[in-house]
Amino acid sequence: MNRGSLTWAVRDSLLRYVTVIARGSYQMEGGATVTDDGAFTFPLRNAVHVGNEWRLSFEGSVRFTAHHGFLDVRIADPEIVTGPVDGVLSVRTGDDGTSTTAVAATGAEELGRDGTDIVWTANLHLLETGVELFGGVYPVGTDLAPLNIRASLDS
């Protein structure tokens, strides 16, 4: 069985904005949890390696709500696809979770290895397609929180 997780704070200032400045809250579902320092952890669902491309799919969701529902940002089932050109993080968004949005990109870094485990930290920046998710507040290219992955793969 594959085991692992993706840990991501989205953007370091976001959680503080939602909970302290906007006096909102966040809810997690589907196995997502939060670390003491405010990063969200999503369990690994699937890992596929084809040629020099990896597709790592995680499950669970976090939903930020504030401003009496005007702010409603749902991030579900993150998936990272990384290959020789770049890495792209996509998430499901919206109530029904049916639309998939490419949120952030990273450079073409090799996935790190620790024995048979994959360990990987990547710096992310916001893609054009992800701008709307955050209400247009962060411009394209904004640095997001780094992504951390650890996964134990059987094969």
The residue ranges that bind ligand HEM (CB under 6 A) are 11, 13-14, 17, 21, 67, 70-71, 73, 134-135, 137
Residue 142 or residue 148: which is nearer to ligand HEM going by CB? 142
Residue 54 or residue 64: which is nearer to ligand HEM going by CB? 64
Residue 28 or residue 71: which is nearer to ligand HEM going by CB? 71
Q: What angle do CA 11, 17, 19 make, to 5 degrees?
A: 110
Residue 44 or residue 147: which is nearer to ligand HEM going by CB? 147
The two tokens of residue 72 are 């409603």
The two tokens of residue 123 are 């710096």
* CB 7, min distance to ligand HEM, A: 19
* CB 119, min distance to ligand HEM, A: 27
The conformational region for residue 31 under phi > 0 = left, psi -120 to 50 = alpha, else beta, is: left
* CB 143, min distance to ligand HEM, A: 11
Torsion of the alpha carbons at 146, 86, 109 and 104, rounded to the nearest 10 = 0
Q: How far apart are CA 69 and CA 122, in angstroms?
A: 32
* CB 94, min distance to ligand HEM, A: 13
> In residues, how long is the chain?
155
